[in-house]
Amino acid sequence: MVAEAKKREIKEAYKRKKIMKERFKQEENIASAMVIWINEILPNWEVMRSTRRVRELWWQGLPPSVRGKVWSLAVGNELNITPELYEIFLSRAKERWKSFSETSSENDMEGVSLADREASLELIKLDISRTFPSLYIFQKGGPYHDVLHSILGAYTCYRPDVGYVQGMSFIAAVLILNLEEADAFIAFANLLNKPCQLAFFRVDHNMMLKYFATFEVFFEENLSKLFLHFKSYSLTPDIYLIDWIFTLYSKSLPLDLACRVWDVFCRDGEEFLFRTGLGILRLYEDILLQMDFIHIAQFLTKLPEDITSEKLFSCIAAIQMQNSTKKWTQVFASVMKDIKEGDKNNSPALKS
């Protein structure tokens, strides 16, 4: 028994040493990458952003110190929002909150007309408490509670046609952790203005079905066995993809891993969101093949907490985003064309 205990102790010590060595190596890599991003890439952004060297470095994950800056540059500011414009809509949001608090309580909000999307300002309060609850920084009294409340409120006044939709708080929270308040709002508004995010947050069913149908083309191409297993249970992508896309994986994955997904999403665009989904399915393919409808849905709704960056990105890298000779954008365009012509392509997602 003593010998066995000694053996276990040596094994554990070796394991700890290995983890420390890997962590030290990772910190060294981050430090050297940070120097390259700050001194070489960021000062020459437009010239270097699409080079092979930068794309490869980007894939490995952005150093936290430059992450927010790179995200801002990659997302862009097509809406031409300024910090001053943010302050205008924030002032308007504060006026709305004041009038709501004087005329109604939170419980009265249930009867508000859906046409008045700005009324969702009050609903924001209910959702903030559910945002990264384990961090205790966005809840009432936390250091970032008021900032999150301000950004979501200002956005609701800026885009009353969209209003507040559950899931937005997670996206705003991730941006707040990496950017200053006004910059976070600018990135948030521009991010939500991208075609995929706009389709989901506006709950544009037709457009969402087109995304699901395109996803299924690559699902069948990459994971045919699992695809048929899902199909046998009539398990459609909306069951698991909606939550993943709504929060850009920030609710479904550990925060540090979600940030790395965001890194490459900012590089590759919407395609990477769906590639990540396929990477997750590939990672857990063997387990999912043993499950029925209910257990698959439950598993994908709450992914294992021990999911690692190395394993997931290895699986994502193995996913080929090319169907025959067509890439994601071409497949998406042909799906849209087929639907317009009334051809549903026998996609289970489109039949739902």
Reported as a pLDDT band with limits 50, 70 and 90, residue 110 is: very low
Q: What is the mean pLDDT of residues 140-155?
A: 95
Fold of the domain spanning 198-343: Cyclin A; domain 1 (1.10.472)
Q: What is the mean pLDDT of residues 303-308?
A: 94
What is the per-residue pLDDT for 102?
62
**Which three-class secondary structure state does DSSP give residue 211?**
helix
CB 331 within 8 A of CB 323: yes
Which helix (H) or strand (E) segment holds residue 327: the answer is: strand 326-327
Lowest mean pLDDT among 11-20, 49-58, 77-86, 99-108: 99-108
Amino acid making up residue 251? K
Tokens of 301: 């709704």
Reported as a pLDDT band with limits 50, 70 and 90, residue 14 is: confident
Which residue in 323, 318, 317 sits closest to 218, CA to CA?
A: 323
Burial class (CB in 10 A: 0-12, 13-18, 19+), 208: buried
What is the per-residue pLDDT for 63?
95
CB 213 within 8 A of CB 351: no
Q: Where are the beta strands (DSSP E) in 35-102?
A: none
Reported as a pLDDT band with limits 50, 70 and 90, residue 55 is: very high
Most confidently predicted of 87-91, 122-126, 329-333 = 87-91
Angle of CA points 156, 162, 163, to nearest 5° = 35
Lowest mean pLDDT among 11-25, 61-75, 297-311: 11-25
The domain limits of the chain are: 10-60, 83-103+112-193, 198-343
Q: Read off the pLDDT of residues 154-183 as tens digits, 9 standing for 90 and up.
A: 999 999 999 899 899 999 999 999 999 999
What is the per-residue pLDDT for 119?
54
On the question of a common fold for 10-60 and 198-343, the answer reads no
Q: Residue 328: is its pLDDT beyond 80? A: yes
Q: What is the mean pLDDT of residues 94-102?
A: 78
Q: Residue 105: is its pLDDT beyond 70? A: no
**Which three-class secondary structure state does DSSP give residue 304?**
coil
Query: What is the separation of C-alpha 53 from the centre of its chain, rounded to a whole number of angstroms?
Result: 25
Lowest mean pLDDT among 53-57, 125-129, 261-265: 125-129
Mean pLDDT of the chain: 88
What is the per-residue pLDDT for 121?
67
Cα 214 to Cα 33, 47, 318, 348: the distances in Å are 35, 32, 18, 12
What is the per-residue pLDDT for 30?
81
C-alpha gyration radius of the chain: 22
Q: Read off the pLDDT of residues 70-90 as tens digits, 9 standing for 90 and up.
A: 999 999 999 999 999 999 999
Q: What dotted CATH number matches 83-103+112-193?
A: 1.10.8.270
Q: Residue 106: is its pLDDT beyond 90? A: no
Q: What is the mean pLDDT of residues 285-298?
A: 97
- Separation CA 41–CA 45 (nearest Å): 6
Q: Residue 107: is its pLDDT beyond 50? A: no
Q: Report whether CATH 3.30.870 matches the domain 10-60.
A: no
Does this model's pTM top 0.95? My answer is: no
Cα 319 to Cα 223, 278, 312, 322, 343: the distances in Å are 9, 7, 11, 9, 27
Angle of CA points 253, 143, 187, to nearest 5° = 60
Reported as a pLDDT band with limits 50, 70 and 90, residue 320 is: very high
Which residue in 75, 125, 81, 79 sits closest to 100, CA to CA?
A: 125
Reported as a pLDDT band with limits 50, 70 and 90, residue 284 is: very high
What is the per-residue pLDDT for 114?
44
